[in-house]
Amino acid sequence: MPKTVHIGLTSPHILARTRGAHHDRSRYALTMAMFAFAFAILCARLVFLGLGPQQSADAEKRGQLSTALSRPTIVDRAGNILATDIVTGSLYANPQKIVHLDDTVEQLIAILPFLDAGTLRRKLSSEARFQWIARKLTPRQQAVVHELGLPGLQFAAEPHRVYPAGAEAAHILGQVDVDNKGLAGIEAWVDRAPRIERPERKSSVEAGAVRLSMDLSVQHAVREELVAALARYRAKAAAGLVLDVHSGEVVALASLPDYDPNRRGQALGKDQFNRLTSGVFELGSVFKIFTVASGLDHGVTSMEQGYDAREPIRVGSHTISDFHAKKRWLSTPEIFIYSSNIGSAKMALDVGAKRHREFLARLGLLDRIGTELGDTAAPILPASWKRINTMTIAFGHGLSVTPLQAAAGAAALVNGGYRIEPTFLFRSREEARVRRERVVKAQTSELMRYLFRLNVKRGSGKRADAEGYRVGGKTGTAEKVVRGRYSRDALLTSFISAFPMDDPQYVLLVMLDEPKGTKETGGRATAGVNAAAASGRIVERIGPMLGIVPQLDTKPAFDEAVSASY
């Protein structure tokens, strides 16, 4: 029988082939798994990059390069934006990544000609890894630089302060530095005030706005009339403010020459200071309102009493005389409307130096006033308050104060007798009532309102009589000190007024520095022909804006009383 050969699964040849195939499949699977793993990592990385966390981190890092602060928006009492932040691009460089130094410098200078070539070259060739090149570029400048594609240059987002109204309210708002830090005005106050919320890379509006007492429409009218007066009377400077007599709010304040806070360099001029809060002046006969009020309040005079003004007063080497001498006995109202230096000096002597000084102090005329713009300039007082000082201060010589102090003091004389500290922030009259302090008798205030109006109807303030608005006020023409002596050729004219005098709501102060006589004024340069006239034009414009209804058809009862009594 033939021998049978059995070939099974355990054959050595088949077993070897089986093992080889299995090994190949394992290696193939392992290789595929490795490729799949690597592909998955690559995809994950691409997805991660695509979602932008690294870009966001880089952007955040670039944003943190900026030291500029975000600031709250500032608005006027009606909500009009006066100052706000916008986002701008600031150009910086990593000098270590600059490829072609000369080419980079040349192209940047062509686009940004305000850069200094030498300084730029030093920055781009330094060993540092960060150098600011240009801060707060315009969108167009940023786009053109970006299109160059120069290595080593990047942009950081920074808040940039802008003032939509330009120079309109420069001396109220102040300005900021390149890092958006307040330098002056309300901007500096914002940095000092802990309760002001500072936005963190959010829009300023979201963080809440700082609301001022200023009315932009009134501010524009006041400033525009001051600009016109500056040109009309060829004055060196002009200033004006409007103050709410019941709330103490400064509704408008302008001091010329001024500047555009969008262009910080303009604020550096020596004449661009705020004359109303930072300048002190002898205001001349304007001060007679405080002298007469003191005499009436202390009962040393009355509307029926008066003083002999026939002869000048001689005190040592000093002679006190009247500019427009009547050379007769003058009643208290006549002393006021004829602006008698003799009568005012005698009245102050009757009040007494101590009581006269205390009265001025109660009105806030002898100390700094604290406001959101900072403390006012310190008044210049006599080193020793003697009898002669009382006499000269009575008619506005020998004591220098800021115009804001004078306006605030005048407000107390017409608002019923209450002193209220001025503010540049919105404040309701209800809130102001808890802050006010009586400094003058109600009867004195009533008499002063009468005298204010009488001076516009019969005295030196006639040109301020804006029809229908019952303006009242007092003029002041002061000789400035030039080379140690009073000069008749260098005058400071001012007019403090209130309106409407039957129910005063606002005080207006207008001041002109060294105005010149014109054909219109008959060659004169005194306050009655310039500061008073400018005040009348301002009242006619701002009266309707402030809600004061002019009485044109009938003669007001208050005017009837003034006319009947004089």
67-76, 102-111, 249-258, 556-565: the lowest-pLDDT one: 556-565
Query: Does 134 have pLDDT greater than 80?
Result: yes
* pLDDT value at residue 43: 58
Q: What is the CATH number of the domain that holds 165?
A: 3.90.1310.10
Q: pTM for the complete prediction?
A: 0.82
139, part of any domain: yes
Across residues 341-346, what is the average pLDDT? 97
Catalytic residues: 285
Query: Does 207 have pLDDT greater than 60?
Result: no
5, part of any domain: no
40, part of any domain: no
Query: Does 430 have pLDDT greater than 60?
Result: yes
Across residues 105-111, what is the average pLDDT? 93
Same structural domain for residues 417 and 451? yes
Q: How confident is the model at residue 488 (pLDDT cuts 50, 70, 90)?
A: confident
* pLDDT value at residue 374: 93
Same structural domain for residues 293 and 150? no
Q: Domain boundary at 211, 242, 277, which?
A: 211
The total number of structural domains that make up the chain: 2
* pLDDT value at residue 24: 60
C-alpha 65 chain-centroid distance = 30
Query: Does 477 have pLDDT greater than 90?
Result: yes
Query: Angle CA(39)–CA(41)–CA(45) in degrees, nearest 5?
Result: 115
Q: How confident is the model at residue 411 (pLDDT cuts 50, 70, 90)?
A: very high
Same structural domain for residues 490 and 391? yes
Q: Domain boundary at 211, 238, 268, which?
A: 211
Please state, in angstroms and rounded to a whole number, the distance separating the CA atoms of residues 237 and 512: 6
Same structural domain for residues 279 and 193? no
19, part of any domain: no
Q: How confident is the model at residue 22 (pLDDT cuts 50, 70, 90)?
A: low
22, part of any domain: no
Same structural domain for residues 183 and 201? yes
131-140, 293-302, 435-444, 497-506: the lowest-pLDDT one: 131-140
Same structural domain for residues 263 and 206? no
- Which residue, chain included where needed, has tokens 């060829």? 234
Same structural domain for residues 308 and 240? yes
Query: Does 433 have pLDDT greater than 50?
Result: yes
Please report, for residues 236, 328, 404, 512, the alpha-carbon distance to residue 255 in angstroms, rounded to integers and kept in the order given.
Answer: 11, 40, 12, 10
Residue 348's SS3 state is: helix
C-alpha 111 chain-centroid distance = 35
Q: Where are the alpha helices (DSSP H) in 378-441?
A: 387-394, 403-414, 429-433
Query: Does 58 have pLDDT greater than 60?
Result: no
Query: Does 263 have pLDDT greater than 70?
Result: yes
Is residue 69 a contact partner of residue 121, using CB atoms and an 8 Å limit?
A: no
| Domain containing residue 234 | 218-565
Q: What is the CATH number of the domain that holds 540?
A: 3.40.710.10
Q: Domain boundary at 158, 189, 211, which?
A: 211
